[in-house]
Amino acid sequence: MVKSRGPVGTSLPFWDIAGNQVRHHNKYQTILLLADSVIRATDSTQICDLLSDSGLLFVYGNPDQLPAIALALESQLTFKYWIALRTISEGKRGPGHKGLLLFSKGDKFPITKVRVPHPRCRACGKTLRDWGGKSHLMHPDGAALSDVWDDLAVDPGETLPVKVLKRVASLAGLSKKQRGLIFSRKVTETKPHRPASYGYSACTKKLPESNMVYQGDCIEIMRNFRSESVDLAFADPPYNLAKNYQVISDDQSDSDYIDWCNSWLTEYVRVLKPGGALFVLNLPKWANHHFMFLNRIARFHRWIVWDALSEPRGKLMPAHYALLQFVKAGGPIVENSTLRAGSPEFCVRASCINHRRAADIEDTEQLGDVWSDVFRLKHKSSRDSHPCQLPEKLMERIINLSTKSGDIVLDAFCGAGTTAVTAARLGRRYITIDINPDYVAMAKQKLNAVGSGAEIRRSVAPRPKPVYSKKELQLDLQRIALKLGRLPKEGEIDRLSNYPLAAYKEQFPTLSKALKAAKLVT
């Protein structure tokens, strides 16, 4: 075992350990493990012995290296984040990404909140995020760090970029007195993964009828489809987050959820044509399991990061979903290499977009593996009564990327019908399934509108205009916080505010949500 003061050329607070065995008497609050140094995923569990109680473990590597390590560590540590870093563009595809897993040991999560300067548009100089009259919520010290570090671009060939080390050191609160440990043995020989043979014979079951919305259990319905009969399969299943899907349970044990997912994934791969693409959207935690299962029966193509920032929560904001793309072996893959995406260096303000067009400023880039230009549906007028509706732009990109006119697109969790509607508009055939009859009826109604050329209209319940706006309530809380020198308590808000306490409870789900603005001034 070799122990050095730190990585060559740096003065960062890390010890570097290299060798064939992990033996050390010290305990470390922070450990950074390089995926390149792991021969067998189970070897990574030895490192847990070096981690102190309530310690943090980071694992840096390529997306296809990390799931096996993540699953090996799950039994001893708590998975917290899959952090994505864009790579420098190279080759025919646009920028890829490197992953940085973050695990914690014990019940505590001693992460330091890190802020980065608010990113600004390369054309107009304004902040990339349009605060839309909510600049009072803009933290003066910068933007809170999310799990997509788009302010860093790393060289995919560099074993461990110094800027990643610095960021990890900041998050872990390391200093020269409290050092972290890097385990960085370099593996020179690796055996490439070879997927098992599919073993799917061309069964005599009927071809599925296209341009259909089926109602029922997706696994049972797909088992009646002939093998190798669809060109593209897309899945956006329930995420096991106890969402209200009315007719199914979204609150299973982890093992039951994974078993269920493996059942429909098996059918997805079976019905795909050779060369057909399978896209699976889920949280990174579950994507690790999907990867390990699919890697045995299909060919991994790319791990896409859909950077769709939701509501900021915690010391790192969970901002993205994992979108796995696998391909069925035996045929050439269909892939549109001409697709481009909006560059993350530019804002989406209409005035700036018009200026860029007039000035002939190139504001797109080759489509890579980090999609930050597709935004979640947040406004009630743009979504149906479904807890997790996808934007049509996401489905447009997936369908345009991996199909040609007339191809068949399968979605066994069609929900509000976004996949079917998008496929129909793009001249593709569709087969969609949902167990909820209300969602099936909703999808059929929208498809009828598309077929007749009518506009899809969504019914939005009228909402009475509140007496006081959120902004004026938040500004008043900031005034009170500045007066007290700290966040006010409920009784102090009731006594010191210019507005009734009931107004806060009516406008915000909790008082802590309302106080988020006041935290910026304390």
Q: For residues 298 and 420, state if they share a domain.
A: yes
Rounded to an integer, what distance in angstroms lies between the CA atom of residue 495 and that of residue 392?
47
pLDDT of residue 434 exceeding 60: yes
Last residue of a domain, one of 417, 452, 487: 452
pLDDT of residue 10 exceeding 90: no
- Which residue type is seen at 185? R
Lowest mean pLDDT among 212-226, 278-292, 305-319, 483-497: 305-319
Rounded to an integer, what distance in angstroms lies between the CA atom of residue 207 and that of residue 54?
54
pLDDT of residue 383 exceeding 50: no
Higher pLDDT, 40 or 365: 365
Q: Is residue 197 part of a domain?
A: no
Rounded average pLDDT over 258-269: 96
pLDDT of residue 170: 93
Q: For residues 167 and 78, state if they share a domain.
A: yes
Q: Is residue 338 part of a domain?
A: yes
| 14-18 and 2-4 beta bridge pairing | antiparallel
pLDDT of residue 196: 47
Rounded average pLDDT over 349-366: 95
Rounded to an integer, what distance in angstroms lies between the CA atom of residue 240 and that of residue 350?
38
Return the CATH number at 97. Answer: 3.40.50.150
Lowest mean pLDDT among 104-113, 370-379, 411-420: 370-379
pLDDT of residue 205: 63
pLDDT, tens digit, 9 for 90 and up, residues 44-53:
877 888 899 9
pTM for the full predicted model: 0.84
pLDDT of residue 81 exceeding 60: yes
pLDDT of residue 138 exceeding 60: yes
Q: For residues 166 and 238, state if they share a domain.
A: no
Q: What is the DSSP string of 231-266?
A: EEEEE----SS----SSS-S---HHHHHHHHHHHHH
pLDDT of residue 47: 83
Q: For residues 481 and 446, state if they share a domain.
A: no
Q: For residues 110 and 11, state if they share a domain.
A: yes
Q: Is residue 147 part of a domain?
A: yes
Rounded average pLDDT over 382-389: 50
Last residue of a domain, one of 392, 419, 452: 452
pLDDT of residue 15: 75
Q: For residues 413 and 491, state if they share a domain.
A: no
pLDDT of residue 88: 87
pLDDT of residue 463: 63
Q: Quick one: what percent of the chain has pLDDT higher than 70?
A: 83
pLDDT of residue 11 exceeding 90: no
Q: For residues 445 and 474, state if they share a domain.
A: no
Q: What is the DSSP string of 293-351?
A: HHTTTSEEEEEEEEE---S--SSSB--EEEEEEEE-SSSPPP--TT-EEE-TTS---HH
Q: Is residue 201 part of a domain?
A: no
Angle between helices 418-425 and 437-452 (to 10 degrees): 20
Lowest mean pLDDT among 189-198, 217-226, 370-379, 407-416: 189-198
pLDDT of residue 175: 83
pLDDT of residue 5: 45
pLDDT of residue 380 exceeding 70: no
Q: Is residue 207 part of a domain?
A: no
Q: Is residue 457 part of a domain?
A: no
pLDDT of residue 515 exceeding 50: yes
Q: Average pLDDT of the chain?
A: 85
Q: Is residue 200 part of a domain?
A: no
Boundaries of domain holding 241: 212-452
Spell out a b/e string for 304-336, using b for 16 or more CB atoms within 10 Å of the CB, else e. bbbbbbeeeeeebbbbbbbbbbbbbeeeeebbe
Last residue of a domain, one of 183, 204, 233: 183
Q: For residues 477 and 339, state if they share a domain.
A: no
Q: Is residue 462 part of a domain?
A: no
Rounded average pLDDT over 498-504: 93
Q: For residues 164 and 241, state if they share a domain.
A: no
Q: For residues 263 and 381, state if they share a domain.
A: yes
Q: For residues 428 and 474, state if they share a domain.
A: no
Counted domains in the chain: 3
Higher pLDDT, 46 or 78: 78
Q: Tokens representing 185?
A: 């043995």
Confidence at 186, pLDDT banded by 50, 70, 90: low
pLDDT of residue 2: 37
pLDDT of residue 12 exceeding 50: yes
Q: For residues 440 and 474, state if they share a domain.
A: no
Rounded average pLDDT over 17-24: 56
